[in-house]
Homo-oligomer: A and B are copies of this chain.
Amino acid sequence: MTSDFKHYLKENRNTINQRLIDILACFDQDRELTRAMQHSLMAGGKRLRPILSMAAARACHADPRMALPVGCAIEMVHTYSLIHDDLPAMDDDDLRRGRLTCHKKFSEPVALLAGDALLTHAFHVLAEPAPVFHMAPNSHIRLELISKLSKASGADGMVQGQMLDMLSYQGNDSDLLSHLKQIHALKTGKMIIVSVETGALSVGADPEQVEKLVVYADKIGLAFQVVDDILNVEGDPDVMGKAAGSDEMNDKMTFPAVIGLDESKKYARQLINEAIDAIALFDDDAWPLRSIAGYIIDRNR
């Protein structure tokens, strides 16, 4: 990773974290509900999704801060999905990013409600970005952002992906790979796409730009998941904050399990190349998007 990109990530993470703190500052800080929301939202996530929104805005030659409201809203929706996914009724995880999951730190009902509250407030942030955000898209665009985000995260997107992930696969072995791709397209892919797409829409990008950015996001989203599966097989548990091999133990369908480890690595590399090709016509303002693509394949957690 170049020092420029390291600096870029750090600076943007700081900006995003500060806005997320400001968003939660509107709630009574002494309440358990607020503390549970804070615990999960400020758990040291990579902030990949809001960084993608801001990088897409920059690639379109606009002020990336215009994409901060939607980036933060997406991070809140992402966090709620992790809280609910970790619940005993779902994956029943005790640790997330090396910290206690929300229901372990607080309790099951509190975690359920903290997730509900984060999801609900994400839409409030888009409906009313002031006074947390100094700049924001106009109300017409914000309504479009709400439409895109609710679709990507709902019953035809992320939530349905979680449903499919839970069900055991009943089809033929030959369809296993496409089934796996479909789960990821819904469970994580649509949220990655919407991060890039709404970042561009926030700054009034033209449809041709948005189309190319969506292809880029589609590719890196899938690559991200393939790399996740690879790291789960051979990653360092101290760096990752969870045990390597835990997917295998949980009998999860993964790319290494379906196509093998070497093929998975080749596939991830191919997807990243396709992603970079998709945005070939963007000028040097797209360098963060290109660096993010490289980071996804080279990361170790």
Binding site for B on A (CB under 8 A): 26-27, 31-34, 37, 80, 84, 87-90, 108-110, 112-113, 115-117, 119-121, 123-124, 126-128, 139-140, 142-144, 146-147, 150-151, 153-156, 159-160, 162-163, 166
Contact = CB atoms under 8 A, between A and B. Distances in A.
A159 B128 contact: no
A70 to B, nearest CB: 13
Contact of A147 (B31, B124, B151, B156): B124
Q: How many copies does the complex hold?
A: 2
A128 B144 CA distance: 8
Contacts of A162: 113
Interface centre among A87, A88, A146 (most CB of B within 10 A): A146
Given A87-B89, A113-B163, 10 more contacts: A33-B155, A33-B159, A33-B160, A117-B160, A123-B123, A123-B146, A124-B147, A127-B147, A127-B150, A143-B146
A151 to B, nearest CB: 6
A147 B140 CA distance: 14
22 contacts: A27-B155, A27-B156, A33-B159, A33-B160, A34-B155, A88-B89, A89-B89, A89-B108, A89-B109, A110-B163, A113-B159, A113-B162, A116-B116, A116-B119, A117-B154, A117-B155, A123-B123, A123-B150, A124-B154, A127-B147, A127-B150, A128-B147
A47 to B, nearest CB: 21
A153 B80 CA distance: 16
B90 A112 contact: yes
A142 B115 CA distance: 24
Contacts of A139: 139-140, 143
Given A116-B119, A140-B139, A160 B84 contact: no
Nearest to A159: B117
Nearest to A151: B124
A246 B142 CA distance: 45
Contacts of A163: 31-33, 110, 113
Contacts of A142: 143
A124 B150 contact: yes
A119 to B, nearest CB: 6
A-B pairs, top 5 by smallest CB distance, nearest first, are A124-B150, A127-B147, A117-B155, A89-B108, A120-B154
A261 B37 CA distance: 39
A87 B112 contact: yes
Contacts of A159: 33, 113, 116-117, 120
A120 to B, nearest CB: 4
Contacts of A121: 150, 154-155
Contacts of A123: 123, 146, 150
